[in-house]
Structure 1
Amino acid sequence: MANKKVVALPGDDAVGGGDGRSRPQRGERDTGSGPLTGGRPCFTIHAADDQSDLLRRGTIMSSRFACSLTMLMLGLTLLTFLGTRAYADTIEPNFENQKSSLDKDGNLHLELAASLNAPAAKVYAALTNPDKVSKYSAEITSVKVLSNSATGKVVEFHGASDLNPNKKPFVIEFTFDPGKQAITAQSTAKAPIKFRADYVLSSSKDGKSTEIRYVSVSADPSKALGIDAPEFMRRGAGIETFMRTLTNIGKYIQNGEK
């Protein structure tokens, strides 16, 4: 059992205290006194039999603290890894550059370039399945494949879009060229807005991403829209449609191509 050492109180004849106050012994703390303690010590000190007990307790506390800190660091590392992995798995387009011009008939010529962090084979497969990719577009309410072959597809879309301001069903013809990794989308004869768009794909050196070159020609939509459509507005709509298409392709691929 530990020996109990009591600090002498004022008025006691302790060693070294000509003034009646005790001097702290070796290994003891001078606890002091004050008005809240009535001039008496604030606490009594219990000394251990030896310092080994204190050292053992300190070692146990240090070990527990080190263990807790290690677990915390491991948890933070895991969260960081999972966050980085989730970010790396996100397939998103990266817009690179654009060029546009108007010809004498008011047709807008638009050339765009972008990249997508997905293999070219998957991007090509997505572009040849516009009916499936369209499920990720909020503007499209339903689709119907009118014809389908190895070299093309004709799809009827329902919903409002830049190409369909009147919300009537609109039909787009798609042509595929797997050898050149090229896809063409064009309006039909009865479409309110005439256009043609060509996608040409090329794989990156490491095969992990795809470069997309987009060239389109579209007629002046002012008559169909019922308002004047200046070049900057048409150019902005064309870029937005292109990037939205690539974003939806990324979602389609990321969700298992379904």
Structure 2
Amino acid sequence: MKKILILLIILFSLENYGQNHAFYNDYRSHKNIIEGTYSQKSTLKTYLDLKLPIIDNNSKSIEINKDFDFIKISKSSVVLFDSHNVEIMKPIGKIERTTQVKIDSTFFKEIYRDYSKPWSTSFNVWNKITINGKSYYTDYDIHDSQDIEDIKQLNQKVLIVGQNTGYDYLYHMGYPEYYFLLFLDKSNEVIFESEILDIRIGDEFAMKEDFLKTNWNEKTENFEITFFKQLEAERKELEIHWNGKEIKIETTANN
């Protein structure tokens, strides 16, 4: 009861300041770090095996604004719930393809650490999201770092979408990783969606100019995107070539 009261007070205070984050006491105190690894409920096989309604964004076009976060679907579906309270929540649908979402609220609950590894943390954090005007809850990691590049020569855009992976005990703070690309036509409809790109930046607060360059190649008539990473013993580059219809990805690494 005390924990619920504290959370309600925090929520009330944050709403008055126009914010949308709620922190549980167990999350705020580093003394309460749980040993082990958090198991996400939205990707738990128990829920994935259920026959649930498919939730899809009704809009064919991507809405370009400051809230264009994404649930990126790679290997499996993502289950959504009617609550973030694990004691009463019910699965009410699943997402089977990459979907644009709006994050309404974030609930920071617990921090886990696997002490058998050099540094391995995971988080029990839930987001209340909106799709087609309806609210859902998920503990799935949302892609929340985006950049837009206009490709004027093709009358297209590319969204370079990453995920802030966090550092130490900070959830989704810094370290943007797990990038993928969405190429859009003039109506902002998706022409092509890439898989998660095989590149890790490894920079705490990486700015675009630190790891990314874009260029229009007049000779090949391709839009080129290069991700690069410089380590002490390795330099790795990922080169993407886009001609408006097809993508070509090349990787170079020099040890």
TM-score category, normalised to shorter length:
under 0.3
Higher Cα Rg, which structure: 1
Larger fraction in helix: 1
TM-score (norm 2): 0.23
Larger fraction in strand: 2
Structure number with greater CO (CA < 8 Å, separation at least 6) is 1
TM-score (norm 1): 0.23
